[in-house]
Chains A and B, each alone.
Chain A
C-alpha cells in the first residue's frame, strides 16, 4: 500500500498510477450503461416541469458521471502516455486477490443463519487465520477473538443478529440463552 507520500505536495496531490486507466474505463462504461437505461428506469410524468420530474436527479447524476468520466479517461490516457507509474496488470491482479476474501466474507454471511453467530464467527476466524498462515498461538487466539466479538456485540451491546437454525436442537433453556446472547 502506498499510504506514505514521499513529497509534501503528494499529500494534497497523490501520484498517478497507470492502472487508473482501468478504473477510468470501467467507470465510463458504467455511466454509459446507466445513460442507456435512464428512460426505462425512471418515470416521465406528463404535464410536469423538468424540475418536478422524478428522473431529473438520476439524469443530473448520469450526465455528471459521463462528463467527468470522459475527462478522467482522456486525462488517464495522456498521463499514461507521458509517464505514469506502476505496473497496471500487477495492480489489477492485486484487486482480484481481494475477491478471494470477498468470497470468505460472503461464506461467513451465509453460514451465520444456519450455524448461529457464535459458532460461525469462531469457525470463520479459525479457518481464515489458518488460511493467512497463522499457526500456534495466533491460530489459537483467532477463535477466542471471534468469541469476544460475539459476546461484546450480541451479549453486551445487544445488536440484532438472529439465532442460528442449529440452536433449535439445543435444550430449551440453553436455546433461549443462545438465541438472545450468542
Chain B
C-alpha cells in the first residue's frame, strides 16, 4: 500500500500530469496523421526531453507511445489509410462500415475496443507486479543473456516469409553495436582509423534515420495525397459502449495482445492476427468479416492497444525491449538515469507502479479527448503528404543535430534514412536492426559478466530460470523449422498435383 501511495505521489505532480496530458493528446493527434506514427514522434522528441525531469520526460513519451494507436484508427476507418502501421487491420472492417454510412459507429467501437484493450493490459500488469517483483531477482547475467537471445530468435521467426532478411538485419544491428572503442579492453573495432567512429554509432541517430528521416523521404518521393477531410455525421460517444456487446471478442483480443506484448520480438501484428482469426472462426457470421463486421474491428483494436502496456514487462523487469518503440523507451530510461532490470523492481517499485498508473491514466485521457474532439481532429487528414515530409525532415534535424551538434551524425542518419526507404518500400522490417543494436549490447555485456562462472557449456543452463528460457528458445526454433517443413511439403504437394 505504501508503494501505491508513493506511486500516486509521483503521478499527481502537476508537471507529470501536464506531460501525460500533452503526451496522450499529442499521441492521438500524431497517430491520426498517416505517415507520422509514434516511432517518428518519439525519436524526434527524445532529445528535447533530455533537459526535463526524468519522470516528466518519460511520461511525455509514454503518453505518445500509449495513445497513438487510438488516433491511428481514425484515418484507417474514415479514409482506408492506417494512421500507424499496426492499424492496417482496422481498415478491413472499419472502412466498409464507413462506406455503409456507419463511420461514427465504427469509430466509437474502435475507441471502445482500444480502451478495453489498454485497460485490460494495465490491469494484468498491476496484478502481475508482485509476481514480477519476486521473479525478476531470479534473473542473473546468464538468464538475461538467454532472455535477450530469446528476443533475437523471436524477432527473426516472427517475420514469417522474411526470416532470412530479418536475421541478416538483426546481425547487421549487432554489428553496428560493436563499432567503436570496446569498453572492456579499450581496443578499436571497425573504426577504419576514423576518429568519429571511436564513440560508435549512436542508437538515437540510427533510430532517427530509420524512422524519421526515411519516413520523410518516403513521403517526399511519394504521391501527394491528403487534402480531403471526410465528413462525420452522428455521435461517436454513443457507439462507444457498444463494445460491451462484444465482450468475448474484446476479452480475447485484449488477452492475445497482452500475452504477445510480453513476449519480446512478437508485437502487434501477430496479436491482431490471432485475435482476428479467433473472432472470425468463432463468429456466427464469419462471411461478414472484411466487409464491415463490428467484431472484426473490436478484435483488431483491442489486440493492438493492449500490446504497449504489456511490452513494458520485459523492458522494466529485464531491461529487454520487444520492439522498436520499447527499444526507444529503453534509451529514454537510460538517458534519464533509470536503469530497467531486476533491480528496478526490487529498489524502485513505486516508480514501476507509477508507470503502470500513467499508462492507465493516458488511456482515460486519450478516450476523453477522442470522444469530445474527433470531429475537429479530422483536420489533420488535410495535411498534404509532401508538406508533411518536409515538416518531418525539418524536425528530424532538431532530433539529430541537438544530440552532439555533429554534421557527421546527420550524414549517418541520412544514410540510414535511405536504407529505411529501401526497407519500407520492399516491406522488409526495420525493427531487427534496432533490436540487434540494443540486444547485441545487452548480450555482449551479460556474456562477459557471466564468463567467470562458466566452466562448461552446462553452466549456462544450470539454474531453473535459465533452463526454462533455453527450453523456450529450443521450442521456438523447432516450431519454426516444423512450420517451414510443413510449408515446403505443402508447396511440393501442390506443385505435384498441378
Contacts and interface: CB of A to CB of B under 8 A. Distances in A.
A157 interface: yes
B182 to A, nearest CB: 5
B404 to A, nearest CB: 9
A99 B220 CA distance: 11
Interface in B353-375: none
Interface in A98-138: 98-99, 101-102, 104-106, 108-110, 112, 121, 124-125, 128-129, 132-134, 138
Contacts of B178: 57-58, 61
Nearest to A104: B393
B187 A42 contact: yes
Interface string B383-397: 010110111011111
Interface in B31-74: 47-48, 51
A110 B391 CA distance: 18
Given A37-B190, A97-B221, A159-B48, A2 B394 contact: no
A34 B85 CA distance: 33
Given A43-B187, A105-B410, A159-B48, A54 B182 contact: yes
A60 to B, nearest CB: 7
A95 interface: yes
A164 interface: no
Given A13-B160, A20-B165, A54-B189, A105 B428 contact: no
Contacts of B277: 8
A132 B174 contact: no
B187 A121 contact: no
Secondary structure of the B contact surface, majority rule: helix
A179 interface: no
Given A72-B165, A153-B398, A106 B414 contact: yes
21 contacts: A5-B88, A14-B161, A24-B165, A27-B168, A54-B182, A54-B189, A61-B171, A64-B168, A68-B165, A68-B170, A91-B425, A95-B421, A95-B422, A101-B220, A102-B217, A105-B393, A108-B397, A109-B410, A121-B394, A133-B386, A149-B398
Given A19-B425, A159-B398, 9 more contacts: A12-B269, A13-B160, A20-B165, A34-B190, A55-B189, A64-B171, A132-B220, A157-B48, A160-B405
6 smallest A-B Cβ distances: which pairs? A64-B171, A68-B167, A14-B427, A61-B175, A68-B168, A43-B187
Interface of B: 47-48, 51, 80-82, 85, 88-89, 91-92, 158, 160-162, 164-165, 167-168, 170-172, 174-175, 177-178, 182, 184-185, 187-192, 213, 216-218, 220-222, 269-270, 272-273, 276-277, 290, 384, 386-387, 389-391, 393-398, 401-402, 405, 407, 410-411, 414, 417-418, 421-428, 436, 440, 443-444, 447-448, 451, 454
